[in-house]
Amino acid sequence: MARMLELVLSLSILMSMIFSSTAQSCKGYAFSSNKIFRACNDLPYLNSYLHWNYDSSSNKLQIAYRHTGITSSRWVSWAINPTSTGMAGSQALVAFQQTDGTMRAYTSPISSYQTSLQEGKLSFDVSDLSATLANNEIIIFATIGLSNTSTTVNQVWQDGAVSGDATQVHATSGANVQSMGTLNLLSGESSSTGGNDRIRKRNIHGVLNAVSWGILLPIGALIARYLKVFKSADPSWFYLHVSCQSIAYIVGVAGWGTGLKLGSESASIQYDAHRTIGIILFCLGTLQVFALLLRPKPDHKYRFYWNIYHHLVGYSVIILSIINIFKGFNILNPDKKWKNAYIGVIAALALNAVWFEGYTWYLVVKRKRSEIAGKMPRGMNGSNGVNGFGGRQHQGV
């Protein structure tokens, strides 16, 4: 009986330890350095906690960012974003254990989604920056001089792998794209935006542009080039072509608009090449729409020049669209399956174009030969004479 009681007591202690470890809270946490923080917050993702002291008179913020369940082969960071709620534009504090066993803590301004967390000066003052690693927990300590008078800040926290002494790109799914939110330094109230709004806008921007400029426009071009060869498809091919390109333009303008909105929300982040190509595409696409309204009749003397312009601008838009979509993939860095899927679609369209090109040339050549044969005099094929000239051959003696 006594052994049973000992067993039950041991299990109870073990279960209490398990539950306490899985339901940690920032409250009551004692720092080994005897530092005391008046406020703290349990961050909702990545096993993270933020402790802070805020002096509103001097606008100084003293923080301790804790990231638990971490190993020496991982980096962690906590950042304030002065301009938006996303990662781009954030001013980060980064820490990890180097190969020699020492801790490295430094500042890194985040200028793009493809950041390698290079060391650099932040837009606000940082002092007393240090980091510790103990019991699978990294803690970053710092004192920040906030540059604005707002008591609510946009915060971002993150972790990722370390290779040698170089930080690697963090995961782009799950908790790693949700670890952001706002924090009121006075009340302690926080809300997790989870990046949902910005991520949703980025996804909408990418999908709209990939479907419109990158898929519908090439399909519309294939329809115009190859279906019109078939006499039975006339004039249906023209209406299909116009419908496909019109839908592509309307959807593409919507995608272009979401891109402008994203750019305005992160003015400090500029993707110049992607942005410039996008503006060029919008202008050329709009010119194509107006060119349709000014399309001369087939027998008009300017129709030849209009066709050259229409084809040149159209193919230029398709090429630039595909280039810009791949630039967008590099910026957004989605799962590889999405990029591979688009490559598959483009490859399928290209293979169809090659097949249709060969087949339509075969039909055109065959049709030309039939027309030439139909225009030849009947005597040329020997129907009016044995020798093809209307006369009979001389009989041999």
Residue 180 binned pLDDT confidence (cut-offs 50, 70, 90): confident
Over residues 265-299, the pLDDT tens digits come to 665 556 788 989 999 999 999 998 888 888 888 88
Give alpha helix (H) positions in 105-235. Answer: 196-211, 217-226
Predicted pLDDT at 330:
83
Q: Which of 35-49, 185-199, 257-271 has the highest mean pLDDT?
A: 35-49
Residue 147: partners with Cβ closer than 8 Å, 6 or more residues away: 82, 123, 124
Greatest mean pLDDT among 3-7, 330-334, 345-349, 364-368: 345-349
Q: How far is CA 171 from the centre of its chain?
A: 14
Cα distance between residue 205 and residue 252, in whole Å: 9
Residue with token string 């706002």: 182
CB 205 within 8 A of CB 255: yes
* pLDDT value of residue 84: 78
Q: Which of 195, 174, 210, 169 is nearest to 328 (CA)?
A: 210
The response to whether 394 counts as a known ligand-binding position is no
Average pLDDT, the chain: 82
Query: Is 205 annotated as a binding-site member?
Result: yes
Tens digit of pLDDT for each residue in 12-28? 444 444 333 334 678 88
Q: What is the pLDDT of residues 346-360, one digit of tens each?
A: 999 999 999 988 988
Cis peptide, bond prior to residue 235, ω within 30 of zero: yes
Give the helix ranges, DSSP H, for the chain: 2-22, 196-211, 217-226, 236-265, 272-293, 303-332, 336-375
Determine the average pLDDT of the residues in 79-101: 88
Give CA–CA dist 374/371, Å, rounded.
5
Longest alpha-carbon distance in the chain: 139
Report the range of poorest mean pLDDT among 3-17, 143-157, 162-176, 364-378.
Answer: 3-17
**51 annotated to a ligand binding site:** no
What whole-number distance in Å separates Cα of residue 108 and Cα of residue 50? 19
In degrees and rounded to multiples of 5, residue 47 shows phi and psi of: 50, 50
Give dist(CA 129, CA 102) in Å, integer: 14
Joined tokens for residue 283: 């202008």
| pLDDT > 90? residue 248 | yes
At 196 the three-state DSSP class reads: helix
